[in-house]
Amino acid sequence: MIQITKSQPAPLPLPSSGTRHRQKLEARQAADPAACQVPDNKVLATRDGIYNDARVKERLRADQHDKCCYCESYFSSTSYGDVEHFRPKAGYRQAAADDLHKPGYYWLAYEWSNLYFACQLCNQRYKGNLFPLADPTRRAVAHTDALAAEQPLLPDPATENPATHLTFVQDAAQALDACGAACIQVFGLDRPELIKRRLDKLKSLKQAHFLSGLDMSLPLNPVIEAYFQKLRLTYAESVDMVAYAKQIWEAAALDAAEFAGMVRANFPALPRR
């Protein structure tokens, strides 16, 4: 995870249709709060056509450089991706084994600050309706409650730098505090397929770093020269390959780079913006 800069203002239809429907939901909750707490009730059902609008999704994708807000993987070439509600809209769980509690954060269903772009694994298999708090008794359960009283264990990627809670040793995510531990567990950051992809990224990045250090204006080490010959590269192509490796290395920790959080933890001197 890295901190995300969300562009402003909020895209349509959030401030138009979203605002109107939020007001309807708030009126329904105020009219009968008890009915909204009944398990499986649909009193505060939201309209996915509003927050799933193409304009919303495209803005999220652009702001997040086509990466999942949690695991930082590129996935849009194989999946449409989900519009993720940081605070879950339909109901919440403090822990994975808990029953679903209603209502969720219905008043934030169309709130730009509560929306992110996430891969289906992070959103559907792992986080889902999980939103643990340090003190569950301080949870906001209605639009009239103060969100500021909550102490979420998950850092909001747009308002907090996840690196203060979470770091990496090589490809392995490591918690720096309780929030970091919650991130690893809730987002499934130690799932095997994700660890393998991060490890592959590190290996290829180290190769790029090695190649980028070659001075092609000097006679090459015979081993390196044999390497280029084995790849059937001309001298000009070898020069281009080294230049490309330098580009990869220098861009590896930028916001737009896949797994930038892991790269920054391993190579803190690389430029970040």
The band of 220, judged by pLDDT with boundaries at 50, 70 and 90, is confident
**pTM of this structure:** 0.90
Given this model, what pLDDT does residue 54 score?
95
Given this model, what pLDDT does residue 272 score?
87
> Is pLDDT above 80 for 76?
no
For 16, what's the count of Cα atoms within 13 Å in the CB-facing half-sphere? 7
Given this model, what pLDDT does residue 57 score?
95
Given this model, what pLDDT does residue 87 score?
98
Q: Tell me the average pLDDT of the chain.
A: 95
| Per-residue b or e along 107-142, where b marks 16 or more CB atoms closer than 10 Å to that residue's CB | bbbbbbebbbbbbbbbbeebbbbbbbbeeeeebbbe
Taking the C-alpha atoms of residue 253 and residue 49, their distance in angstroms, rounded to an integer, is 35
> Is pLDDT above 80 for 77?
no
Pair type for strands 166-169 and 82-85: unpaired
CB contact set of 96 (below 8 Å; sequence gap of 6+): 130
Q: What six digits make up the tokens of 259?
A: 């797994």
The neighbour count for residue 28, using CB atoms within 10 Å, is 17
Over range 106-128, report the average pLDDT: 96
Given this model, what pLDDT does residue 273 score?
77
Given this model, what pLDDT does residue 271 score?
87
Name the percent of the chain lying above pLDDT 70: 100
> Is pLDDT above 80 for 105?
yes
pLDDT digits (tens, 9 = 90+) for 161-207: 999 999 999 999 999 999 999 999 999 999 999 999 999 999 999 99
> Is pLDDT above 80 for 19?
yes
Rg for the chain (alpha carbons), in Å? Answer: 23
Given this model, what pLDDT does residue 219 score?
85
The band of 158, judged by pLDDT with boundaries at 50, 70 and 90, is very high
Over range 101-122, report the average pLDDT: 96
Q: What six digits make up the tokens of 17?
A: 């249709």
Given this model, what pLDDT does residue 119 score?
94
Angle between helices 235-251 and 192-212 (to 10 degrees): 130
Burial of 217 (0-12, 13-18, 19+ CB in 10 A): exposed
For residue 215, CA distances in Å to 63, 146, 211, 224, 225 come to 37, 59, 9, 11, 12
Name the percent of the chain lying above pLDDT 90: 90
The band of 78, judged by pLDDT with boundaries at 50, 70 and 90, is confident
